[in-house]
Amino acid sequence: MIVGTEWLIEATGCEPERLRDKSLLRQILSSVMDDLGLISVGEVWHKFPGEGGVTGMIALTESHLACHTYPEHGIATFNLYCCRTRPEWDWNSKLGELLGATGVTITTIERGSAAEMRTRTAGGEQ
């Protein structure tokens, strides 16, 4: 029995200034929620000082959505876990457009007793 799906997203080659922009990252997570019909029950955001990145987590009625950015490495990571079936969000094009990501890897994990894991890059499935 599958009880949920988890998506782990790694975006590389991102523009460092965008990875420091808390309002932009909030906008990205808001777009994910709007497009997938997710409902927030609370959130926490933290911008690290100086040249540091941003960490954000939104608790959902369906589970959670989180991001962590590493401007010094040009990397953003995202995690979405839903206990109800959802379509896949277009992480590849959206993160390319909004963060300048040159590479996006998505790992999908079905949670539960019949768990399965798939990893895809922008070029296809592995």
Q: Which residue has the tokens 């990205």?
A: 28
Question: By three-state DSSP, how is residue 13 classified?
Answer: coil
Architecture of domain 2-125: 4-Layer Sandwich (3.60)
Query: Residue range 42-63: average pLDDT?
Result: 96
pLDDT at 124 over 60: no
| pLDDT tens per residue, range 35-49 | 999 999 999 999 999
Question: By three-state DSSP, how is residue 15 classified?
Answer: coil
Q: What pLDDT sits at residue 112?
A: 82
Beta bridge partners of 111: 4
Beta bridge partners of 120: 106, 125
Query: Residue range 73-86: average pLDDT?
Result: 94
Q: Which residue has the higher pLDDT, 62 or 69?
A: 69
Give the max Cα distance, the chain: 46
pTM over 0.75: yes
- Across the chain, mean pLDDT equals 92
Q: What pLDDT sits at residue 53?
A: 97
In sequence order, the 6+-apart residues with CB closer than 8 A to the CB of 90 are none
Q: What pLDDT sits at residue 84?
A: 83
Residues that are catalytic: 63, 68, 83
Instruction: With cut-offs at 50, 70 and 90, classify the pLDDT of residue 85.
Output: confident
